[in-house]
Structure 1
Amino acid sequence: MSSYRIALAGNPNTGKSTLFNLLTGLRQHTGNWPGKTVIHAEGEFRHLDTDFTIIDLPGTYSLYSNSADEEVARDYIIFDKPDVTLVVLDATSLERNMNLALQVMEMTDRVIVCLNLIDEAKKKGIEVDSDLLSKKLGVPVLKTSARNKTGIKELLDTVHEMAKGNIKTNPYRMTYSDEIEAKIEELAPKVRGMIGDEFPVRWISLRLLDGDESILHSLNNHFKKERTKGGYSNVSINATT
């Protein structure tokens, strides 16, 4: 069969690219994302007799499409549906990094959190209870140091099991104010009626409520591409949906 696809997401300076280089070695290539000036890095690796393709998404602090990097990362997770999204966090600065992980978990349930730079955290006297964090987040949480190759086998074993469908998750979902939750509840059925359940309806509804026009653009582009392949009929999303 074809390779399982792994998306590598994370803030800048979390060691994400170090992990990417460690896994792929020379089996990687770079270019630009279609229609973007954003660098696209992709590579291959093999683990437990299984082939994987790993996509190093642009380093971002959020997925709110405030930049081309954020838009690229967001669209890949939503529309390309990687078998696993591996979110790399800096173990020395979890509070700052956790925002991205929470956003990813609103978009997909196939998430693994990688607490990287764990060696630096220990030097600073920071101890992270990964088991407790995993229970709170509802997804696997693994400690690593890509630079020292610590915890990599355990991480890849978990990636392998999730890609194979052997790990079920229950990602933590953000709860907003009563007013926002009521608006989401009102809008979500309309969004679902237009795009079905193939995409994260709640998250897309939230972005529409926030006035994110780029998600409309991305949805319409996706459906336009699918129409050319005969995948959808004339679906079109607009701000008045």
Structure 2
Amino acid sequence: MGNEYRIALAGNPNTGKSTLFNALTGLRQHTGNWAGKTVALAEGSVFFKDKTIHLIDLPGTYSLFSNSTDEEVARNYIVFEKPDVTLVVLDATSLERNFNLALQVLEMTKNVVICINLIDVAEEQGIHINERLLTNRLGVPVIKISARNKKGFPMLLDTIDRIVTGKIECQPVQMKYPDEIEEKIKMIEPKVRQLVGSHISSRWVSLRLLDGDETLLNEINKRMVPEGV
């Protein structure tokens, strides 16, 4: 799209994700429904360094499995629509709980920014977060912000810009599972890779199939497998 990019916003409910979306896009936004779904879709845009950044506010979820329509919609957008960057919004006062979703996203896609919101509230509570240490351990940029005060926005937008222009290369940490699971992944991943190619993380799909996620398999068949195969 030239100088136009799509950024997906993911996060647990009540992390300030929609506050961030509204603060960045202002009046440049609209709401509709996802195709074939009753889930609301909010899209907006922000202009930065001669680029148009389209923001998609995904439904707030605690995970990206197939337990609800919201989870399927958010998961499918990240996996199949392939936004240029996925921005995961975390609550600075509840990082341990919020990181479950963040780690799931890191398994699904490469270009990720971890956005730690409500940093002002956390600091008032005596919580101090070392974003550089987290960046090193996770392999993707970690930015601290306060969406309601618009604190940290220049660095957040600059980081997104540097990812889409290739100045930052994300290398998400790969989660390690018990040996039994890792062995099963090795067994089925080559076959999964034949099916999905480089379009989707074959490791992540393998994990979801081991977990019995039939809705993901149905979605892959619907979107990626030619008729008659």
The aligned counterpart of 1:73 is 74
RMSD: 1.1
1:38-62 Cα deviation digits (max 9, x unpaired): 1111111101111111100000111
SS class of match (2:181): helix
2-structure distance, mates of 1:156, 1:48: 9
Deviation at 1:234, TM superposition (A): 3.9
Give, in whole Å, the separation in 1 of the partners of 2:228 and 2:170. 31
1:29 aligns with 2:33: no
Deviation per CA, 1:213-232: give whole Å up to 9, x if none. Answer: 110111122126xxxxxxxx
> Shift in Å at residue 186 of structure 1?
0.4
1:235 Cα deviation from its structure 2 partner: 7.2
Q: Is structure 2 residue 124 aligned with structure 1 residue 130?
A: no
Structure 2 CA distance for aligned equivalents of residues 121 and 195 of structure 1: 41
* Distance of 1:194 and 1:104 partners within structure 2: 21
Residues 1:63 and 2:76 are matched in the alignment = no
The aligned residue for residue 98 of structure 1 is 99
1:43/1:55 contact within 8 Å kept: yes
Whole-Å separation in 2 of the counterparts to 1:130 and 1:235: 49
One-letter amino acid matched to 1:75: N
Q: Distance in 1 between matches of 2:228 and 2:202?
A: 15
1:143 aligns with 2:173: no
CA contact (8 A) 2:59 2:74 kept: yes
Kept in 2, the 8 Å contact 1:194–1:235? The answer is: no
SS at match of 1:14: coil
Conserved 8 A contact 2:12-2:101: yes
Q: Which amino acid aligns with 2:189?
A: A
Q: Which ranges of 4 or more aligned residues in structure 1 deviate by more than 6 Å?
A: none
Answer yes or no: is the 8 Å Cα contact 1:102–1:173 preserved in 2. no
TM-score (norm 2): 0.97
Identity value in percent: 61
Alpha-carbon contact 1:138-1:172 (below 8 Å) kept: yes
2:112 corresponding residue in structure 1: 111
Task: Write the letter of the residue equivalent to 2:146.
Answer: S
**Normalization by structure 1: what TM-score?**
0.92
CA contact (8 A) 1:223 1:235 kept: no
- After superposition, the C-alpha distances for 1:57-79 in whole angstroms (9 at most, x for unaligned) are 00011101111111011111111
Gaps of 5+ in 2: none
Whether the aligned pair in 2 keeps the contact of 1:24 and 1:43 (CA below 8 Å) is yes
- Residue 93 of structure 2 aligns to a residue in which SS? coil
Is the partner of 1:197 in helix, strand or coil?
coil
SS of the residue 1:125 aligns to: coil
Q: CA deviation at 1:2?
A: 5.4
